[in-house]
Amino acid sequence: MEVTAKVIAEHFNGEIIGNPETKVSQVARIESGKPHNICFLANPKYQKYLLESNAGIVIVSRKLLPEDCSSVKPTMIVVEDAYQAVASLLDLLNSLKKSKKSGRAFLSYRAMSSKIGKGVYVGRFSYIGSKSKIGNGTQIYPQVYIGKDVTVGENVIIYPGVKIYDGCIIGNNCILHANVVIGSDGFGFAPTQDGSYKKIPQTGNVVVEDDVEIGSNTVIDRATMGSTIVKKGVKLDNLIQVAHNVEIGENTVIAAQSGIAGSSKIGKNCMFGGQVGVAGHISVGDGTQVAAQAGIQGSISSEVGKKGIAGTPAIDYQTYMRSYVKFKHLADK
């Protein structure tokens, strides 16, 4: 779908230099922009490309605006911070491109005791169990399984292959990408005298609060008792394991292939790199920043965590880097 410079500028109160009726349909890098592309300039390293670009529109941070704009071919939209504006732009283009569906497709199943809100779409081969509730405007793509007594909020997007087990709760405005599993059994087994293991029933559920996004193939286990909780605004990447009775605080982001063992509590506004491992029954303080592949084996206070941690076992980042200078040369001696 094409959109004009005028519409884009109005979306984030930008100043237009050039033709407000210039139309674009795709986003591209500034060094490879073409007439149907919109690009952005937020880094001084790429400033030289502005004079060379053939893009239709370029969003430019005000501090990078050239003194002589007459030599710039693209229409420019000037903002205070182009990097922040591009996130808003992508949201605009996505909303224009995607129109919501409604209704229930042929070969989908909905239990008679379930309740479906207004404007809900249910794709083919999807299943909604007894006494489940689906909020207004939610989009359920094909081949989704929703068990019994599940609550799904309003304007949720559930992509193909997602499985939501019995009794789980999904808040408003969440996005669950393909093959997410919510509410599978926690890994609970008790050793017996003969060396075998007896399964411990997992009787709790998973609660996902509002504005959470969960990446493809991520699994969140139900609690043994009570709830596994993912709080408001959390963003989880693909291929993440969240074990039973874990609690993840508001606005925490966790990158791919990370794993959090049972009953651990992660604070709010934390940032985890990829492949981070968290041991069970520990706490990680608010605002903790964790380097990729770190192994957290003990509780981390907010005071330490905000300075950054790295390594296995994880220690504060500055200590890790000083140690790294030494141990990377141990083999030379």
Q: Are strands 277-278 and 295-296 parallel, antiparallel or unpaired?
A: parallel
Is the Cβ–Cβ distance between 225 and 207 less than 8 Å? no
The whole-number pLDDT of residue 97 equals 63
Is the Cβ–Cβ distance between 288 and 270 less than 8 Å? yes
The whole-number pLDDT of residue 327 equals 85
The CATH 2.160.10.10 domain(s) of the chain lie at 177-324
The whole-number pLDDT of residue 98 equals 63
User: Whole-prediction pTM value?
Assistant: 0.82
Phi, psi angle pair for 271, to nearest 5° = -130, 120
The CATH 3.40.1390.10 domain(s) of the chain lie at 3-97
Catalytic residue among 11, 36, 177, 244: 244
Is the Cβ–Cβ distance between 76 and 9 less than 8 Å? no
How many other β-carbons are positioned within 10 Å of the β-carbon of residue 144? 24
User: Residue 75 — left, alpha, or beta (φ > 0 → left; ψ -120 to 50 → alpha)?
Assistant: beta
d(CA 233, CA 311): 27
d(CA 157, CA 176): 6
Q: Which residues pair with 3 in a beta bridge?
A: 24
Element (H, E) at 5: helix 5-11
Of 3.40.605.10, 3.40.1390.10, 2.60.120.260, 3.40.50.1220, the CATH number of 3-97 is 3.40.1390.10
Side chain identity, residue 75: T
Q: Is 244 a catalytic residue?
A: yes
The whole-number pLDDT of residue 333 equals 62
Structure tokens given for 26: 């795709």
d(CA 122, CA 142): 7
Of 2.102.10.10, 3.30.70.890, 3.40.50.720, 2.160.10.10, the CATH number of 177-324 is 2.160.10.10
Phi, psi angle pair for 39, to nearest 5° = -125, 175
Per-residue model confidence as pLDDT tens for the chain (333 residues): 688 999 999 988 899 999 999 999 888 999 999 999 999 999 999 999 998 999 999 999 999 998 888 889 999 999 999 988 887 787 777 766 666 788 899 999 999 999 999 999 999 999 999 999 999 999 999 999 999 999 999 999 999 999 999 999 999 999 999 999 999 999 999 999 999 999 999 999 999 999 999 999 999 999 999 999 999 999 999 999 999 999 999 999 999 999 999 999 999 999 999 999 999 999 999 999 999 999 999 999 999 999 999 999 999 999 999 998 888 888 776
CA angle 32, 36, 41 (to 5 degrees): 50
Element (H, E) at 49: helix 48-52
Element (H, E) at 316: strand 315-316
Structure tokens given for 51: 């004079």
Side chain identity, residue 273: G
Structure tokens given for 103: 């209704």
The whole-number pLDDT of residue 70 equals 86
d(CA 143, CA 146): 10
Task: Tally the residues of the chain.
Answer: 333
CA distances for 110 relative to 157, 171, 316, angstroms: 18, 20, 51
The whole-number pLDDT of residue 100 equals 79
The whole-number pLDDT of residue 255 equals 98
Measured on CA atoms in the order 197, 201, 207, 212, is the torsion positive or negative?
Answer: positive
Which of 316, 183, 177 has its CA nearest to residue 246?
Answer: 183
